[in-house]
Structure formats: C-alpha cells, structure tokens
Structure 1
Amino acid sequence: MSALATVGLTLKSTLAAEGKQAPKILLRSSWQTVNIGDIAHTPGVLRILKQHLPEAEVTLWPSSIDNGVDKLLLAEFPGLKIAKKGSPELQQAFEGCDFLLHGSGASIVAQNDLIRWQKETGKPYGIYGITFPMKKSSSTSPQSEAALKRSVEVLNNASFVYFRDGKSLELAKSLGAKAPVMEFGPDGAFACDLRDAELAEAFLAKHGLEEGKFLCCIPRLRYTPYWTIKEGRKFDEKKHARNEEMKEHDHAPLRDAIVEVIKNTDMKVLVCPEDRTQMAVGKEMIYDKLPADVLDRVVWRPDYWLTGEAVSVYVRSAGLFGNEMHSPIMCIGHGVPAIVCRFEEQTTKGFMWEDIGLGEWLFDHDSPKDQSRIAPTVLSLAQNPEQAKAKANQAKAFVEKRQRETMETLKRSLA
C-alpha cells in the first residue's frame, strides 16, 4: 500500500472517530481523448487531490474517457468513481457530493454544468487552472459581449478561480470578475504522472534513442484539423486556409533547430505528436523537409500514443521543444526542460511560461525576433543539459508550491 493510501486511511479513520464524513468532490474534467494533453488534465488533478486531500472521495464526471483512458484512470486511481452524463451515478453524485471542482481546460469548458450544479444543488464549486480567452482556441472570432458577461457571472459565483496564465486573470478582472479567490494556479496537467515504461522503452530501443541523448520535437498547425480525425466534423475552409498559409512559417524554425542540434551535438531528435493530427504534420512539415545528411539521427513517430507512454518517453529525453503546450507542461512537471513556441490562435495559455519563471523558453511565432532565437535556444539546451535541467526543476518547485496553496484554498472551501 502506498504512503498516500496509508495516510488516506488514517485520516478517514480519524474523521470517523470524530463523527465527521470524508469530503466528497465531483470533478468535472476529461474533455476529449484525441489529445494527450486533454487526457493529462484529469490524472493531474486527481494526483494533486490524492496528495493533499487523501481523505476525499472523488467522483469523475467526464465528457470523454474512451480509447482506453477509463482503464488508465481506474488503474492509477483504484478508488475513483466515474459518473457519466445521464447516468444514475451522476444523479447520486449531485445528491451526495459536497463540492464540484471544474478541472483545467482552454476555457470554462463545462460552464453550463456549473450553472446546472448551482441551480439544482445550491452547493459550492471552484474552477481550477483554466485559460479565460477573448477568443476560444477553436474559434476564428472573439466571444460576444453577452457570452463574456455570462462567463463572468459563473466566475463570480465560484468559491475560487485559478487561472493557468496571468493574462487570463488580468482579462477576467478587467471584465468585472470578483470571486473571493482569483489567482494564478497551474494547469492540472503539471501533476500528471501516468506511465507506461514498457511501451516507452520498447519504442526507444527500436529506434536507437538512448536516455538523455535525444530531444523531442512536436509540430502543430494554427488550428487543429479535427475534420480529419473526428467523424461528422465538417471541413472548415477558413481554418484550413490559415493552416496552409502559416505551416511553413511555423515549422521552419523547428527544422532549423533540429539541424543545429544534429550538427553541433551527438544528440538525436524524435518528432512526435500531442494529438492524432500531428503525425502527418510532423512527416510533411519537419521530417520530409530536413536535409538528407541529418536524417539518420532523426526519428519520426508515425503512431499516436496515450499519455502514459508519452510521459515515459519525455522523462527519458534531454528536453522538448515545439508548437504545443501540454507536452511541455508534463515535462516541467517532471523536471524535464521544455521550450514552448506559441501563436495567437492558441489563446494566452503559453504565457504561463512567464508565470512559472520560464519566460526565456517562450517564443512567439508571430514575432520575427522571437523566431530568430528559437534554434539557438534549443541548441543551448542541448549543449548545456545540466543547466537546463536545473532551470526546469526550479519551475517545477514553483508549480508544486502553488499546487499546495491551491489545495489549502479547496480545504477551506470544504470546511
């Protein structure tokens, strides 16, 4: 039995002796499974809860836990209850849970469910590690004034709101949000510790990738082309046109970085995905366009993977760089150096790197000056791995401090 489980049993015994009930939390999370970052939110928050409130009984209210994610969660958190939409278990959770915690996401993803919870139960809720955007990452136009006003009302009715980037906090305040606690709070995915070492080690061995001697690189288009992977999703000409317009612009610096690393160090580079669309992007925009004389030390992964295998690869790497956000988050959560390249379509979430002390590892593809510094910074990381790791560990320590502080707020809300 783990130390956390032992502590949990001790606390439950103490509560029982005092005639008190263990707190019951309904976690609204698990938005989709086509992206390992969206998968990571839930096990991250569950791990934080288990560490800081081991006595709590947690029920997950998911949007999607298909593709084997339900089995991963139940294996990692054996006591977890799952209450799907429309199920008797969800009705029981509404009746029995004391608090609803909205997990990390690109916005108040389950805003309508928070409204429903408050209306039907009158019980409190909190919001944990979100971006609050003027324009949602899946949209090409800003939110309406009425939509923003409704969201601010939801923020105001929360016991606490933790924003995963400081710019979201600033925006919410400027629009009149005034929950009792509104602060920076790390994305739950920082705490994700799903592992699949067996799959990871087999993959690395197959491709000659040695621990500490390779970097990971992740591609991304401006808009995720969900129409290529989700049944029934309509083709979006506007998003496709923007992707085509910017894909060379957004991936040329990554190729430059790979060339610099290969030519100036003994490291290899793994081009890998964060979502199901990115294997093809990595092949077209990175691997196929690299000079022939570097390809023998570049590996392209053709298959999607789940979060456990990805994390198990990341922690064996010397670091990661690319156009995504949650793989870098998971890396820093384990003290692995990670460089983030962002663009406007990704909302403000990338600015969390400034909030956790990693502003030097944040680059904006919409800034020519920033783009010119991507390759030299990646090379510096590869040439100075111990220095880079120390920087990553410093950010990790800051994140863990904030996690402890956010859980103290939750404890007060449950009192």
Structure 2
Amino acid sequence: MQRRSFLHAAGLALAGASLQAAAPARAPRILLRSSWQTFNIGDIAHTPGVLRLLTTYLPDAEVTLWPSRIDQGVDKMLMAQFPKLKIAQDQAARSQAFDECDFLLHGSGPSLVAQRHVEEWTQKTGKPYGVYGITLPQRRSTSSKDESQDALRKTVDVLSGAEFVFFRESKSLAFAKSLGCKSPVMQFAPDGAFACDLRQEEKAEAFLQQHDLQTGKFLCCIPRLRYTPTWTVPSKKRPFDPVRHGRNEEMKEHDHAPLRQAIAEVVRQTDLKILICPEDQSQMKIGKELLLDKLPEDVRPRVVWRPNYWLTGEAVSTYVRSAGLFGNEMHSPIMCIGHGVPAIVCRFSEQTVKGFMWQDIGLDDWLFDLDDEAQVAKVVPTVLDMAKNPKAAREKAAKARAVVEQRQRETMMVLSQTLGDSRE
C-alpha cells in the first residue's frame, strides 16, 4: 500500500508539473514611472512614446502608469490610444501596483527624475527595475559642491542596481561609466518621445486651414530662453528668479536673431510659410516678442504665430504636415524625426547634454551650439538648405529615424529578456 500510495502521489506531482509546463506563462506586468508634467509637450510625449514601444514589442504585457501629472486632458488622450492601460493615480492604486507588477520601468527624462520612487520600489518589493532613455546631468542644483557630489553618488548607486540603464545620449553614458556605474547593461537608447504617435487630427487641420498653412508648404519655428521663465506661468506658481531672468535678458536677442534671420530668408527665397509655435506654456509670449514683432514688414504676412498652448497630439499632427522644424528646443525635433520630418536643433550651455543625441543618430550637422559663434553663423544657411531641398532633407531625416528604430528594437529585446528572467 505504501508503494502504491507513493506511486500515486508521484504521478499526481508529474501530472501537475506537466500541466504547469503546458500552461502559458502569465503576461508580464510593468509599472511605468513617467509623465513628469503637462507644462511641456515634450514631457507629455515621453509617456506615449514608451507606451507605444511596449505595445509594439511586448503586446501581451500589462502596463500600469505611475504618473506625476496627467491633467489638461492628457489622461484622456492616453486612454484613447492605450485603452488597456491602467493608471495608478492614488496611493491605494500604487500599493496594488507594487504588489502585482513584476518590474518597474523608469521612463525617459532629463535625469533619474523619480529616483526616490525607484528606491521606494526596491525597499518595499525587492523586485527588479530598469531605466529607459535618460540624461545623467553633470551639473546639480544643490547648495554646495559636497552636496552635489553626494547626490550624484546616490544616483549612481541607484543606477548600478538597475537591470539596465539606457542613456539618451552617449555623453551621459560616458559620464556614468566614468563615475563607476555598474549596471550590467548600459547603452545608448534614444528618448522615448521619438516613438510618440499621439494625434489630434481635427484640431490640427482646423488651425492649419484657418491660417492657410498647406501640407509641405510651411516650416515650424520654436523659440526658447536660456532658462524657462516658470515665474511667468500661473500654473507653475514659481517665485521670480532674478539671476535666471537676468541671464535670459542678456542672451535673448543673441539666441533669437539667427532664428529671425532664418525666417526672413526662407520667406524671401522660397514659397514656404513659417509657423511660430510653442513647446511649453511660456513660449507663446516669447515667440511674439522675440520673433514675430521684430520681423521685417515684407516678411510678416507669410508668418503665422500660434497664440495659445497645445497638447502633444495636435503638435504631432501639425509637424507631420510641415516641411520641417528649427529652433531652440529639443522634444519637438525629437517628435519630428520620429516621423521622418526634418528638424534642426539649436542648444546652449544652460541646457543638459540632451541635444547631443543628434550626433548619436547621425544628425550632427543639424545641431548648433549657440555659444559658439562659428556654429551660429551656420544656422541660417542650414535652415535655408532644408527649405530649398526638401527631398534631401526628408531622406536625411529618414536615415536618422532608421537609426532610432533599430535601437528601439534592440532595447525592447533587452527588456523582454529581462522580464522573462524576472518572472522565472
């Protein structure tokens, strides 16, 4: 009897093991920490970009978004495009996500934005995490050099504990390695916003028709001051910063004169129009003051100024109808290249190194440092060349897009393999 009981029990165990082996594995569950703010269409774009990559390359994954802000209708846009998405907006939902999710993915951003939350995830769950498409800033806004170094060391420790860290430009990758960061996978991967495909077609079409902007017959231009004047935007509620304001005043003419000249030359030498548009809520006023109002009288009739902020979907729907974009911002160019639209980037020392991703994707001659007068002199002829040779510009943008898409495939493969390991 004992032998028969043993054989019966062993048979049941083998049968159970066989059923378990035959049963499909549970879909991976990812907690995406992203959506930093809605003040800037680029910060909005990070999230739908990464969500599109996850949907494309890991279609069975169950994704929960842990946002900072998704107001102004951003939540509705996300749910319309990603109806299976879960959003953990309160503590109860986040606690449930901590229990149920297998992996935390920190989305693209100007730094390890949610470092504190990554640490919380590790302490409470012990589950793995990864970082997708960030900059590692070399300057820290702390009160002393010692505090800055201490903060940087803590960040490196958190990055070293990640299953992978993808930096959105090779300069950040090199900096991390120089600091001794030891994550097992550290590579370049483009900002998640390259994959953003939010659309608001009707809004874009209505605006373009209102201002007689025809598809392929206009360029977009985006202004930007050295420091974002958040104290001018009621929703930000930031105190006036006299030092940053002073720097903005000092450099605003220098930084926008090349853009104005490019606008004038495009209008005078081609049949294209210009749309002056914003990337964040402070830039409508800047565009009017520093670009539109200072244009020559013969140029102004073919220049359209957008007086109000827009969301990412309407912006993308506009960019894809344009002949290209140029200006002092970064994420609108990212969204353009993600759709094969030519885009020229001007940067300066007050920004992080994010602009250098243009070098990483083969667009170094569409990247200009406004602190280098030799490069400033090349802005106007380069914009004019883009305007006069649209076929060549599109081909150049398409090559950069191909580089981006290749890296997207490769990085998503790393995530897929990591998720398989984390659930074994």
**TM-score band w.r.t. shorter chain:** over 0.9
Of structures 1 and 2, the larger Rg is shown by 2
1:109 has 2:108 as partner: no
1:356 has 2:361 as partner: yes
Match of 2:10 in 1: none
Aligned with residue 304 of structure 1, among 309, 312, 316: 309
Residue type matched to 1:272 in 2?
C
1:67 has 2:69 as partner: no
**For residues 141 and 297 of structure 1, do their structure 2 counterparts lie closer, same or farther at Cα, with a shift above 3 Å needed?**
farther
Alpha-carbon distance in 2 for matches of 1:300, 1:90? 42
1:186 has 2:190 as partner: yes
1:313 has 2:343 as partner: no
Q: TM-score, normalised by structure 2?
A: 0.92
Match of 1:403 in 2: 408
Match of 1:12 in 2: none
Aligned with residue 196 of structure 1, among 195, 200, 214: 200
Match of 2:175 in 1: 171
Aligned with residue 208 of structure 1, among 193, 209, 212: 212
Once the two structures are superposed, what CA deviation does each residue of 1:54-84 show, in whole Å capped at 9, x if it has no partner? 0000000000000110000000100000002
Aligned with residue 266 of structure 1, among 255, 271, 274: 271
**For residues 94 and 109 of structure 1, do their structure 2 counterparts lie closer, same or farther at Cα, with a shift above 3 Å needed?**
same
Aligned with residue 376 of structure 1, among 372, 375, 381: 381
Aligned with residue 328 of structure 2, among 314, 323, 328: 323
Q: Secondary structure at the match of 1:145?
A: helix
Do 1:135 and 1:141's aligned partners in 2 also have CA atoms closer than 8 Å? Answer: no
Residue type matched to 1:101 in 2?
L
Deviation at 1:18, TM superposition (A): 2.4
Deviation at 1:17, TM superposition (A): 6.3
**211-220 vs 143-152, which deviates more?**
143-152
Match of 2:23 in 1: 18
Deviation at 1:140, TM superposition (A): 10
Alpha-carbon distance in 2 for matches of 1:140, 1:311? 39
How does 1:33-112 map onto structure 2 within 5 Å? 33-84=38-89, 86-112=90-116
Deviation at 1:16, TM superposition (A): 11
Do 2:340 and 2:401's aligned partners in 1 also have CA atoms closer than 8 Å? Answer: yes
Alpha-carbon distance in 2 for matches of 1:307, 1:289? 28
1:121 has 2:134 as partner: no
Do 1:163 and 1:184's aligned partners in 2 also have CA atoms closer than 8 Å? Answer: yes
Match of 1:225 in 2: 229
Match of 2:163 in 1: 159
Q: Secondary structure at the match of 1:292?
A: coil
Q: Secondary structure at the match of 1:344?
A: coil
Once the two structures are superposed, what CA deviation does each residue of 1:193-229 show, in whole Å capped at 9, x if it has no partner? 0001101011001101110010000000011111111
Q: TM-score, normalised by structure 1?
A: 0.94
Deviation at 1:407, TM superposition (A): 0.5
Q: Secondary structure at the match of 1:331?
A: helix
Aligned with residue 139 of structure 2, among 132, 135, 140: 135
Q: Secondary structure at the match of 1:210?
A: coil
Do 2:32 and 2:66's aligned partners in 1 also have CA atoms closer than 8 Å? Answer: yes
1:255 has 2:260 as partner: yes
Match of 1:413 in 2: 418
Match of 2:391 in 1: 386
Once the two structures are superposed, what CA deviation does each residue of 1:25-75 show, in whole Å capped at 9, x if it has no partner? 000000000100000000000000000000000000000000110000000
Deviation at 1:389, TM superposition (A): 0.2
Aligned with residue 243 of structure 2, among 225, 234, 238: 238
Q: Secondary structure at the match of 1:144?
A: helix
Alpha-carbon distance in 2 for matches of 1:89, 1:277? 33
Alpha-carbon distance in 2 for matches of 1:326, 1:141? 31
Match of 1:6 in 2: none
Do 1:342 and 1:363's aligned partners in 2 also have CA atoms closer than 8 Å? Answer: yes
* Uncovered stretches (5+) of structure 2, i.e. residues with no partner: 1-19
Q: Secondary structure at the match of 1:293?
A: coil
**For residues 88 and 246 of structure 1, do their structure 2 counterparts lie closer, same or farther at Cα, with a shift above 3 Å needed?**
same
Alpha-carbon distance in 1 for matches of 2:223, 2:182? 38
**For residues 17 and 218 of structure 1, do their structure 2 counterparts lie closer, same or farther at Cα, with a shift above 3 Å needed?**
farther
Q: Secondary structure at the match of 1:346?
A: coil
Q: Secondary structure at the match of 2:299?
A: helix
Do 2:197 and 2:316's aligned partners in 1 also have CA atoms closer than 8 Å? Answer: yes
Alpha-carbon distance in 1 for matches of 2:34, 2:194? 15
How many pairs were matched up?
399
Match of 1:3 in 2: none
Deviation at 1:19, TM superposition (A): 3.7
> Identity, % of aligned pairs?
66
* Uncovered stretches (5+) of structure 1, i.e. residues with no partner: 1-14
**For residues 158 and 222 of structure 1, do their structure 2 counterparts lie closer, same or farther at Cα, with a shift above 3 Å needed?**
same
Match of 2:344 in 1: 339
